[in-house]
C-alpha cells in the first residue's frame, strides 16, 4: 500500500514555505531544509526541520513541513502525527486539514465516527474562528465595557438611559463569559495529551491491561485514538466508533 503514496503525491498540496524571524543558525537550517525538499532530498530536509524542532523552535508551519517530509518518506504514522500537532496550533488551516485527510486515506482502518451533537459542532466552529489569544483579548475588552456600562446604569442621568445600559451590561457580560470559555477551551485542548496515533503496523486492543487478555479488535499504523485511562505501561483507549480496550502505551505516540 505504501508504494501507492508516491503515485498519489501529485494530488498533494505544495509544501508551504513562510519566512520566519529566526536566529542566524535557525534560519540557515530552515533554508537548507527548504532547498533540500525542493531538490527531493526528503530525508536530509527532515533532519534540518527536526533540528529546528529540537532547538525549541515551534510553529505550525514547521510541524506541517515535518509532516510533509514524513509523508514523502512513506512514514504514514509520523506524517499523521505531525499534521495533527500542526492542527493543534492552527485548527482551521485548510492546508493542514487537506493534507491530514489525504494522508488518512492510506490508513488500513476505516472507522465510522459516532455522530456529533449539532450544537457541539456549531460551538467548535465558532470557537476556532479565532485564536485563543484573540478570544482572551475580546474577553478583557468585554469585561471592561461591562464595568463601564454598569457604572453608567448606576449613575445614569435618567431611567431610560439606565435601563438601556443595564441590558447592555448584561449583553457584554455574556460576551465576556463566552469569549473566556472559547479561550480556555482552546488552551485546554492544546495542553491535553490524551490523543495519540498508533505507531505499530499492527496493534492488538485487549480486554484487560496485560498481555494475556483477549484481543477485542486490531488497529493499524496511523489510526487516531484517545487515552481515557492509564495503568502502568498500559493505556485504555477509545476510537471514533466508540469501541474501547487496552493497549501497550509504547505502541502509541501522543499528539
Query: Among 121-125, 194-198, 241-245, which stretch is predicted with the lowest mean pLDDT?
Result: 121-125
pLDDT at 14: 47
For the stretch 24-52, pLDDT in tens is: 566 788 889 999 999 999 999 999 999 99
pLDDT of residue 15 exceeding 60, the answer is: no
- Is the whole model's pTM more than 0.75, yes or no? no
CA distance 67 to 73: 10
Query: 12 versus 83: which is more confidently predicted?
Result: 83
Q: Mind giving me the DSSP string for 42-72?
A: HHHHHHHHHHHHHTT---HHHHHHHHHHHHH
pLDDT of residue 10 exceeding 90, the answer is: no
Confidence label for 157 from pLDDT (cuts 50, 70 and 90): confident
For the stretch 184-217, pLDDT in tens is: 988 887 788 899 999 999 999 999 999 899 999 9
Grid coordinates representing 96 are: 493542514
Please provide the average confidence, as pLDDT, over all residues in the chain: 86
pLDDT of residue 16 exceeding 60, the answer is: no
CA distance 99 to 90: 14
Confidence label for 3 from pLDDT (cuts 50, 70 and 90): very low
**Are the C-beta atoms of 95 and 142 separated by less than 8 Å?**
no
Amino acid at each position: 500500500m505504501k508504494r501507492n503514496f508516491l503515485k498519489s503525491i501529485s494530488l498533494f498540496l505544495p509544501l508551504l514555505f513562510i519566512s520566519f524571524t529566526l536566529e542566524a543558525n535557525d534560519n540557515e537550517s530552515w533554508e537548507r531544509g527548504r532547498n533540500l525538499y525542493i531538490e527531493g532530498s526528503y530525508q536530509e530536509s527532515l533532519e534540518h526541520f527536526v533540528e529546528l524542532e529540537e532547538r525549541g523552535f515551534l510553529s505550525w508551519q514547521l510541524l506541517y513541513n515535518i509532516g510533509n517530509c514524513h509523508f514523502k518518506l512513506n512514514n504514514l504514522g509520523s506524517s499523521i502525527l505531525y499534521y495533527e500537532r500542526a492542527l493543534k496550533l492552527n485548527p482551521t488551516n485548510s492546508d493542514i486539514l487537506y493534507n491530514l485527510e489525504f494522508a488518512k486515506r492510506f490508513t488500513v482502518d476505516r472507522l465510522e465516527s459516532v455522530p456529533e451533537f449539532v450544537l457541539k459542532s456549531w460551538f467548535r466552529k465558532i470557537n476556532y474562528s479565532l485564536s485563543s489569544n484573540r478570544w482572551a483579548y475580546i474577553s478583557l475588552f468585554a469585561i471592561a465595557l461591562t464595568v463601564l456600562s454598569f457604572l453608567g446604569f448606576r449613575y445614569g442621568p435618567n431611567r431610560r438611559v439606565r435601563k438601556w445600559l443595564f441590558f447592555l451590561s448584561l449583553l457584554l457580560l455574556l460576551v465576556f463569559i463566552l469569549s473566556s470559555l472559547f479561550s480556555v477551551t482552546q488552551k485546554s485542548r492544546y495542553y491535553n495529551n490524551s490523543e495519540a496515533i498508533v505507531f505499530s503496523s499492527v496493534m492488538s486492543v485487549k480486554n484487560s491491561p496485560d498481555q494475556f487478555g483477549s484481543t477485542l479488535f486490531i488497529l493499524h499504523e496511523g489510526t487516531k485514538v484517545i487515552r481515557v485511562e492509564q495503568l502502568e505501561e498500559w493505556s485504555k483507549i477509545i476510537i471514533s466508533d466508540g469501541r474501547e480496550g487496552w493497549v501497550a502505551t509504547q505502541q502509541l505516540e501522543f499528539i
